[in-house]
Amino acid sequence: MDGTMDDIIVKYDPDYMVDEIVAHNEEHLLLFQPARDVSIAGKLDDQDGLFEHKYSKLQCARNIRLLEYSATSNCNKVRFHLSENSIDAIGGRFIAISYCWGGEKPTEYLPISSRAYLKVTKTVYSILRHISGVASGLPVWIDAICINQEDCGEKGVQVSMMGDIYAAARCVLVWLGDGNLTQASQLALWSYLTSPYTHNNTALCDIGSFGGVGDSLFGSVLQSPWFERAWIVQEVCLARKVLFLCGAVGMSLPFLKDYLEIRRKNYNSLPDSYSIPSDWGRTSLPVFEQFPKLCAHRKLILENGGKPRVTLTDILLEFQSFKATDPRDKVFAFLGLADYHNLQPDYTDSIGNVFTKAMIVCSPSLYDYRILGYAGLANPRIDGPVMFASVPTWVPDFSCTFFAQPFTLRNDFKATSPKDISEAASESRENPQLLYGSSPGNLSLFLKTAFIDTIEEMSRPGLCSMESPFLDQQAVLKCQYDMVNEGIEMLKRQNLHLVSKAVSTICFETVTAGSFSNINSLSDEMKAAVLKAFQESKGAVEFPSQSREDNNIKKFYAQMHRSGIGRSRRLFTTQEGRLGMANGNIRKGDRVCLVSGAPVPFVLRGPIANYRWHAIYHLVCDAYVYGVMYGEASDVNSYPFETILLE
């Protein structure tokens, strides 16, 4: 490293410039120069007079800091320093960085001006080393440096502006890491990506050893946690241009989108680096599911002139599986993509309050009831008074991983008829408050419900828990087998409410959440063959593979797996002889109800108290109940509706 302590500098050789990247056709791939050294020479303790950079307060609420490269006049060298700029005046004249921070701690030293330094994470340090040949003099915005992370007030304001920041940047550079790739490996990856095999539907087995090496390398790159990070959604969706960097290799968003689609079509011939190890066979990397969602939402925003036109409910549901280190970011990360709300990020607020405020915003659109499927005592929730405090049961824990998709997200269920606009408006006039503070510290939700039954008996619980979310496939198959037999026996002990079908058929349709009868419109003979194969397996079968098992039997197992039975869900019977499926923490005595306008039944617990003339209940979870899912029990004369409160 050249220079003295009065002039801390780094190597700078702008062979490729962002200005050129933006001007070029987006289909291009780019190969940048190797990483530069941006470290402070010698040991920090030996640097006389060097001090840690202290942030000054931003002068205006709409100002941001930018990390600038100040080149000297006579050589390709540059020093870092921070400048303050108005976001409204700097549009199109800086680069924004998108990367995965995670829980990494600052351990590296970055020179800022002539005598100051900042401690940064190894990831940020690596990013700056690689983009030093890309920035072409354009300042850079990167949150770890440009936001004072120790100032919660500033952090909240800046986070609320991040949508504007990424939309204003000339280009968003996405850092996928270098995967510890050597320079030779990066060149091999570059050669592979530019080969004609990469751009067509050629199967891996036809590419040969060269393609196999390249595919394996890029499969490792696609394992980057960036693709599952909640913040990337707005960072990419609102960007003018996007360029992905993997070490020295750069690629455009359209290139990566097309590449993934081609590889998805040839998934069975891809190397193991494109899969997650699993006892259930090959499980594809999250990128194959997440990236198309990202591209589709970006297209929607571009078609709307760069403005969001969706509710917070829609955004939270669409990207629920994306992850964040801070649970509050599972809400904050999506605020810039949602319309019709006034929520602002506040990192001084508790997790529970943040989630409750998000649901208050969602409550006017609760007439579709989809988001309630993630709420309730039987769904995963953060425990502890510090983390979650006293949070209503109708508020989901947005930070959790859910083992099975809520029944509320199925668009084929119609336990009650959905409300039209006039009906919803009429109910709003009759009861203008959807939410009510029924007691100090408690916020209750009004629901119009009809109680149709009570849980009487339950099968064994599923095997999954927050502590053990991943299980041996044979253990789950055995549990599913045992549950089916328990369900059949439980039904036989009841005075059957529905006798139009055989007990075994009712049970099999329940454990697949109604999908069994819809598998390719199976004939009765084929259904009988599938049931016989399952019963003869005694829970000890191998998980069916594409080459060895009958297609319909495979679909049956797949539907059982998706339903969550044996994992997070169990069977139950009711006092009137119905068979249902719900999450594991249901109890005997919990009540099954219809909610006016909701597509599925819900399980409630209580009443726990009364407020004026309304009973107060706790939400447990949504449920599948055979013989109820398509409006069979929604006759108001049989089960009158009443208004209750959920607390």
Q: Is the dihedral of CA 564, 568, 570, 576 positive or negative?
A: negative
Long-range contacts of 513-516 (CB under 8 A, 24+ apart): 513/407, 513/410, 513/559, 513/562, 513/563, 513/581, 513/624, 514/412, 514/413, 514/624, 514/626, 514/629, 515/559, 515/562, 515/563, 516/556, 516/559
Tens digits of residue pLDDT in 464-490: 765 555 556 778 888 888 888 898 888
Tens digits of residue pLDDT in 298-324: 999 988 888 877 889 999 999 998 999
Tens digits of residue pLDDT in 107-153: 888 888 777 888 899 899 888 877 765 556 688 999 999 999 999 99
- Statement: residue 386 has pLDDT above 60: no
- Distance in angstroms (rounded) separating the CA atoms of residues 339 and 192: 42
- The structural domains of the chain, with segments of one domain joined by +, span 1-307, 312-455+586-646, 472-566
Which pLDDT value is given to residue 432?
A: 46
Give the angle 24-25-27 at the CA atoms, nearest 5°: 130
CA 513 remoteness from chain centre:
24
Percent of the chain with pLDDT over 90: 31
Mean per-residue pLDDT, 9-22: 42
**Which range is most confident: 16-20, 21-25, 40-44, 412-416?**
412-416
- Distance in angstroms (rounded) separating the CA atoms of residues 235 and 437: 37
Q: What is the pTM of this model?
A: 0.83
Mean per-residue pLDDT, 145-171: 93
Tens digits of residue pLDDT in 232-265: 999 999 999 998 888 777 788 888 888 888 877 7
Which pLDDT value is given to residue 11?
A: 31
Residue type at position 19: D
- Distance in angstroms (rounded) separating the CA atoms of residues 619 and 603: 7
Residue type at position 497: H
Contact criterion met (CB below 8 Å) for 5 and 49: yes
Tens digits of residue pLDDT in 545-586: 553 446 677 778 778 888 888 888 999 999 999 999 999 899
- Statement: residue 595 has pLDDT above 60: yes
- Helix (H) / strand (E) containing 454: strand 442-458
Which pLDDT value is given to residue 438?
A: 53
Could you tell me which residue, 40 or 377, shows the higher pLDDT? 377
Contact criterion met (CB below 8 Å) for 417 and 366: no
- Distance in angstroms (rounded) separating the CA atoms of residues 151 and 436: 34
Which of 234-248, 383-397, 447-461 is the least confident region? Answer: 383-397
- Distance in angstroms (rounded) separating the CA atoms of residues 334 and 317: 11
Contact criterion met (CB below 8 Å) for 565 and 511: yes
Tokens of 520: 């390719």
Which of 6-15, 85-94, 145-154, 447-456 is the least confident region? Answer: 6-15
Which of 85-94, 186-195, 505-514, 619-628 is the least confident region? Answer: 186-195
Could you tell me which residue, 618 or 138, shows the higher pLDDT? 618
Contact criterion met (CB below 8 Å) for 138 and 94: yes
- Closest C-alpha among 386, 329, 380, 325 to residue 358: 329
When pLDDT is cut at 50, 70 and 90, the band that residue 420 belongs to is: low
Q: Which are the contacts of 206, defined by CB distance < 8 A and separation ≥ 6?
A: 197
Tokens of 224: 């980057």
Cα separations in angstroms, 569 against 120, 427, 592: 44, 34, 16
- Distance in angstroms (rounded) separating the CA atoms of residues 621 and 605: 10
When pLDDT is cut at 50, 70 and 90, the band that residue 496 belongs to is: low
Could you say which DSSP state residue 209 is in? Answer: H
Tokens of 284: 């594809």
Which burial class, exposed, middle or buried, applies to 440 when counting CB atoms under 10 A from its CB (0-12, 13-18, 19+)? Answer: exposed
When pLDDT is cut at 50, 70 and 90, the band that residue 283 belongs to is: low
When pLDDT is cut at 50, 70 and 90, the band that residue 223 belongs to is: confident
**Which range is most confident: 197-211, 427-441, 465-479, 498-512?**
498-512
Cα-based torsion angle of the residue sequence 417, 420, 422, 426 in order, rounded to the nearest 10 degrees:
50
- Statement: residue 10 has pLDDT above 80: no
- Closest C-alpha among 615, 630, 626, 610 to residue 451: 615
Q: Strand, helix or coil at 640?
A: coil
Mean pLDDT of all residues belonging to the chain: 78
